[in-house]
């Protein structure tokens, strides 16, 4: 289980006010957010003037079933929630919405000081049913409510601490929904005589592409007259209307069995969309992001800070930037970086990589770096996200919405951007000449076609996956870029197949870990680097000799003897330096098919959620 010190955190919030019956809309919108959290769900709807609540542990489908037996609630305004519980196990009583006497809320995020507030409210004879921090907020709203919802909300906002988003309904104000944001994203969608609140754009795409992005400590009020926004001084404020550039099918599976497989197949397009606007006359050109070679070359050290798969993309970035530009690169896990009092100064560049742009640890690392005075560059996929807005420099990846919890296309475009940065920097500091820079850039541009070709042979990875499904544990080994890549392969497998695995530097195995090799234990050997190939093969022989079942990911031109590999996934011959772009694809597919073969829910693996917006 993924634990943290608070109750709920990564969840989905929705809300609706308008001409249509809202229960089905709330459920449908929640289904688009299930990737964010999905171990319990609930809605609260104004039904003939009073707030009716339906909620249950389990998936959204369980809630729908429950409503069938308990009687469907009907109305034109309401709020809804899918929960990713980590503290306060998934249960009916812990699921949202939570209520006070006259207030009902849904919540995403952390209330850091909920304990003190709960103690105070208990001293005021308030009783609690659940162990969630959410219920504390509901009771506190009720405590402050004296007839004006905005006054109560503002008082509560001044008292609670943490990062959160709330959807709120007051019994005395039928068909009105209030929403407030502090850090955790929340948007207000507007359609024809109807308006919405949601944690993320996919929830409203079916109904409207027009939305407002609530900023820090901003409140919105949705009713039949439309939407209004207020700050904490109860002053009405104007927000900029935005239009989502995602369309429906982009947020749907369009024919694929899982979002993850769809997103693996979208990688060629994601690469083209991300790099093409950043290549001018065959050379990297990041000026559209406000980044010039002169700006890049003045840093004498680069830190890359991220979490999970994004950190793995940064590790690939380290190898290629150091190899080509000869500039030192330090890769850090964000949750370590932010508490280690990092050695940074104004000559450092800190690159924060994040698909969601909301990962709490990465956002905190960004803020810390800025406080220390280092320059910051964000590489982010989600437009308008917190990390994207707070970094000094920004390169958006254009992978489109990544719905599957296991990141694939976002990783791919993150490393594609790493390549552009490495080529531009290496040329700027004179380590490669313009011809080499152009050659490498053209290599990068050739990868989408190569990946499309690899995807045509994906059934071979299904065959390889079938040899893994009974494994208890396996190793991914490699050297250099292959080692960096094996980290990502291992995480992919773990998070969706639930089989333990570990990535290990192939040359390091003999210093202890090789004792793990037992008869038939799978070892996935990534051996694409020509410059290290012989050495990797001798490491493979070491594990084979001890009974390992070896799967080699290597160039097609190499035909391993039986005493070296049991399975091989062959790749086209391209330069060592660019191999990660294509070698990661079989690793993603092996993880995907292993998960499918084990009957797991690939897109929504247990214990996880798409964006970890808290510590
Ligand atoms: C990726 O497969 C994982 N789901 C996870 O490690 C993810 O990469 C990590 O949480 C970072 O998320 P971010 O890129 O949105 O910051």
* Catalytically annotated residue among 5, 11, 52, 118: 11
pLDDT reading at 288 higher than 70: yes
Given a contact cutoff of 8 angstroms between Cβ atoms, the answer to whether 104 and 75 are in contact is: no
Region 325-329: what's the mean pLDDT? 97
Q: What is the pLDDT of residue 3?
A: 24
pLDDT reading at 249 higher than 70: no
263 Cα to the center of ligand 1, angstroms: 15
Q: What is the pLDDT of residue 88?
A: 59
**Residue 381 Cβ < 6 Å to ligand 1:** no
Mark whether 481 and 517 lie in a shared domain.
Answer: yes
Confirm whether 614 is domain-assigned: no
Q: What is the pLDDT of residue 201?
A: 86
Mark whether 181 and 320 lie in a shared domain.
Answer: no
CA distances 38 to 96, 256, 341, 389, Å, are 12, 21, 36, 28
**Tokens linked to 225:** 């007259």
Average pLDDT of the chain is 92
**Residue 176 Cβ < 6 Å to ligand 1:** no
pLDDT range class, residue 607, cuts 50, 70, 90: confident
Given a contact cutoff of 8 angstroms between Cβ atoms, the answer to whether 88 and 94 are in contact is: yes
Confirm whether 615 is domain-assigned: no
Least confident of 2-6, 167-171, 262-266: 2-6
Q: What atom of ligand 1 comes closest to residue 492's alpha carbon?
A: 2
Q: What atom of ligand 1 comes closest to residue 382's alpha carbon?
A: 15
Q: What is the pLDDT of residue 574?
A: 95
Q: Which of 427, 448, 469 is the last residue of a domain?
A: 448
pLDDT reading at 552 higher than 90: yes
Q: What is the pLDDT of residues 463-508, one digit of tens each?
A: 899 899 889 999 999 999 999 999 999 999 999 999 999 999 999 9
Mark whether 486 and 359 lie in a shared domain.
Answer: no
**Residue 360 Cβ < 6 Å to ligand 1:** no
Cα 13 from Cα 33, distance rounded (Å) = 8
Q: What is the pLDDT of residues 409-447, one digit of tens each?
A: 999 999 999 999 999 999 999 999 999 999 999 999 999
**Residue 385 Cβ < 6 Å to ligand 1:** no
**Residue 405 Cβ < 6 Å to ligand 1:** yes
- Provide the residue range defining the domain that includes 465: 457-599
289-326 in b/e form (b: 16+ CB < 10 A) is bebebebbbebebbbbbbbbbbbbbbbbbbbbbeebbe
Region 516-532: what's the mean pLDDT? 96
pLDDT reading at 8 higher than 70: no
- CATH no. for residue 146? 3.60.20.10
**Tokens linked to 422:** 């490495």
Given a contact cutoff of 8 angstroms between Cβ atoms, the answer to whether 23 and 72 are in contact is: yes
pLDDT range class, residue 226, cuts 50, 70, 90: very high
413 Cα to the center of ligand 1, angstroms: 14
pLDDT reading at 62 higher than 90: no
**Residue 40 Cβ < 6 Å to ligand 1:** no
pLDDT reading at 126 higher than 60: yes
Region 576-580: what's the mean pLDDT? 98
Instruction: Count the domains in the chain.
Output: 3
Cis bond before residue 97 (omega within 30° of 0)? yes
Mark whether 139 and 257 lie in a shared domain.
Answer: no
Cα 28 from Cα 180, distance rounded (Å) = 22
**Residue 310 Cβ < 6 Å to ligand 1:** yes
Reply yes or no on whether 307 is catalytic: no
Q: What atom of ligand 1 comes closest to residue 491's alpha carbon?
A: 2
pLDDT range class, residue 614, cuts 50, 70, 90: low
Confirm whether 375 is domain-assigned: yes
201 Cα to the center of ligand 1, angstroms: 18
Cα 46 from Cα 178, distance rounded (Å) = 13
Mark whether 426 and 547 lie in a shared domain.
Answer: no
Given a contact cutoff of 8 angstroms between Cβ atoms, the answer to whether 504 and 475 are in contact is: yes
Q: What is the pLDDT of residues 71-123, one digit of tens each?
A: 889 999 999 998 766 455 677 777 889 999 999 999 988 788 999 999 999 99
In the chain the first and final C-alpha atoms are separated, in Å, by 14
- pTM confidence score: 0.75
Mark whether 406 and 478 lie in a shared domain.
Answer: no
Mark whether 108 and 163 lie in a shared domain.
Answer: yes
pLDDT range class, residue 6, cuts 50, 70, 90: very low
Confirm whether 491 is domain-assigned: yes
Q: What is the pLDDT of residues 449-466, one digit of tens each?
A: 999 999 988 888 988 998
Mark whether 275 and 224 lie in a shared domain.
Answer: no
Mark whether 121 and 264 lie in a shared domain.
Answer: no
DSSP 8-state assignment for residue 91: -
Q: Which of 389, 418, 448 is the last residue of a domain?
A: 448
Percent of the chain with pLDDT over 90: 79
Mark whether 338 and 414 lie in a shared domain.
Answer: yes
Q: What is the pLDDT of residue 10?
A: 57
Q: What is the pLDDT of residue 84?
A: 66
Residue with the smallest CA separation from ligand 1 atom 7 is 308
Q: What is the pLDDT of residues 39-48, one digit of tens each?
A: 788 999 999 9
Given a contact cutoff of 8 angstroms between Cβ atoms, the answer to whether 84 and 609 are in contact is: yes
Mark whether 174 and 275 lie in a shared domain.
Answer: no
3-state secondary structure of 209: coil
Cα 59 from Cα 95, distance rounded (Å) = 11
**Residue 503 Cβ < 6 Å to ligand 1:** no
* Catalytically annotated residue among 52, 262, 568, 610: 610
Q: What is the pLDDT of residue 611?
A: 78
pLDDT range class, residue 36, cuts 50, 70, 90: low
Q: What is the pLDDT of residue 251?
A: 66
Confirm whether 306 is domain-assigned: yes
Region 55-61: what's the mean pLDDT? 85
244 Cα to the center of ligand 1, angstroms: 22
Confirm whether 574 is domain-assigned: yes
Mark whether 160 and 263 lie in a shared domain.
Answer: no
């070491």: which residue's tokens? 542
Reply yes or no on whether 289 is catalytic: no
Percent of the chain with pLDDT over 70: 95
DSSP 8-state assignment for residue 8: -
Residues 6 or more apart whose CB falls under 8 angstroms from that of 59 comprise: 34, 38, 41
Residues 6 or more apart whose CB falls under 8 angstroms from that of 602 comprise: 258, 260, 261, 404, 406, 496, 592, 595, 596
- CATH no. for residue 577? 3.40.50.10490
**Tokens linked to 122:** 């208990």
Q: Which of 231, 251, 271 is the last residue of a domain?
A: 251
pLDDT reading at 5 higher than 60: no
Given a contact cutoff of 8 angstroms between Cβ atoms, the answer to whether 405 and 495 are in contact is: yes
> Apex CA 128: angle with CA 124 and CA 130, to 5°?
155
Residue with the smallest CA separation from ligand 1 atom 6 is 308
Confirm whether 420 is domain-assigned: yes
Confirm whether 6 is domain-assigned: no
Region 141-160: what's the mean pLDDT? 98
**Residue 307 Cβ < 6 Å to ligand 1:** yes
Given a contact cutoff of 8 angstroms between Cβ atoms, the answer to whether 346 and 373 are in contact is: yes
Nearest to 571 by CA among 591, 554, 588: 554
């Amino acid at each position: 289980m993924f634990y943290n010190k608070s109750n709920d955190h990564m969840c989905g919030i929705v809300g609706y006010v308008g001409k249509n019956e809202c229960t089905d809309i709330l459920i449908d919108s929640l289904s688009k957010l299930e990737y964010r959290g999905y171990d319990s769900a609930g809605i609260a709807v104004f039904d003939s003037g009073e707030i009716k609540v339906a909620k249950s542990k389990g998936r959204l489908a369980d809630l729908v079933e429950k409503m069938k037996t308990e009687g469907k609630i009907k109305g034109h305004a309401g709020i809804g929630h899918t929960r990713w519980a980590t503290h306060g196990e998934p249960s009916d009583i812990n699921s949202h919405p939570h209520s006070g006497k006259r207030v009902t809320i849904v919540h995403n995020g952390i209330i850091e000081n909920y304990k003190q507030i709960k103690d105070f409210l208990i001293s005021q004879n308030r009783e609690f049913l659940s162990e969630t921090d959410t219920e504390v907020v509901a009771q506190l709203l009720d405590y402050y409510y004296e007839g004006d919802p905005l006054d109560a909300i503002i008082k509560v906002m001044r008292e609670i601490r943490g990062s959160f988003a709330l959807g709120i309904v007051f019994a005395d104000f039928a068909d009105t929904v209030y929403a407030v944001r502090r850090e955790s994203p929340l948007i207000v969608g507007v359609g024809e005589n109807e308006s919405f609140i949601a944690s993320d754009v996919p929830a409203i795409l079916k109904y409207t592409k027009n939305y407002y992005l609530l900023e820090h400590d901003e409140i919105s009020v949705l009713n039949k007259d439309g939407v209004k926004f207020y700050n904490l001084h109860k002053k009405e404020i104007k927000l900029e209307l935005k239009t989502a550039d995602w369309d429906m099918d982009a947020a749907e599976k369009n024919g694929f069995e899982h979002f993850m497989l769809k997103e693996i197949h979208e990688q060629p397009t994601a690469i083209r969309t991300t790099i093409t606007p950043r290549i001018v006359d065959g050379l990297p050109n990041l000026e559209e992001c406000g980044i010039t070679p002169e700006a890049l070359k003045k840093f004498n050290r680069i830190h890359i800070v991220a979490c999970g798969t994004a950190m793995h993309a940064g590790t690939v970035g380290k190898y290629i930037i150091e190899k080509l530009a000869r500039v030192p690169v330090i890769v850090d896990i964000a949750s370590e970086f932010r508490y280690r009092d990092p050695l940074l100064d104004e000559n450092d560049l800190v690159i924060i990589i994040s698909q969601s742009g909301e990962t709490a640890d990465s956002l905190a690392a960004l803020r810390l770096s800025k406080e220390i005075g280092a320059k910051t560059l964000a590489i982010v996929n989600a437009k308008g996200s917190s990390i994207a807005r707070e970094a000094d420099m920004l390169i958006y990846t254009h992978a489109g919405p990544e719905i599957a919890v296991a990141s694939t296309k976002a990783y791919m475009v993150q490393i594609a951007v790493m390549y552009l940065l490495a080529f531009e920097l290496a040329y700027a500091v004179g380590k490669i000449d313009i011809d080499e820079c152009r050659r490498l850039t053209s290599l990068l541009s050739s990868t989408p076609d190569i990946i499309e070709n690899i995807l045509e042979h994906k059934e071979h990875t299904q065959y390889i996956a079938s040899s893994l499904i009974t494994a208890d544990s396996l190793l991914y080994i490699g050297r250099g870029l292959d080692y960096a890549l094996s980290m990502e392969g291992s995480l992919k497998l773990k998070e969706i197949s639930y089989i333990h695995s570990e990535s290990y530097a192939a040359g390091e195995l003999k210093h202890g870990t090789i004792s793990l090799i037992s008869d038939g234990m799978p070892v996935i050997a990534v051996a694409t680097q020509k410059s290290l190939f012989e050495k990797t093969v001798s490491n493979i022989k070491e594990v084979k000799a001890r009974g390992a079942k070896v799967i080699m990911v290597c160039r097609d031109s190499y035909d391993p003897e039986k005493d070296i590999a049991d399975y091989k996934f062959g790749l086209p011959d391209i330069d060592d330096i660019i191999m990660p772009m294509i070698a990661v694809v079989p690793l993603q597919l092996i993880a995907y098919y292993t998960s499918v073969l084990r009957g797991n829910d690939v897109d929504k693996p247990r214990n996880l959620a798409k964006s970890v917006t808290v510590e």
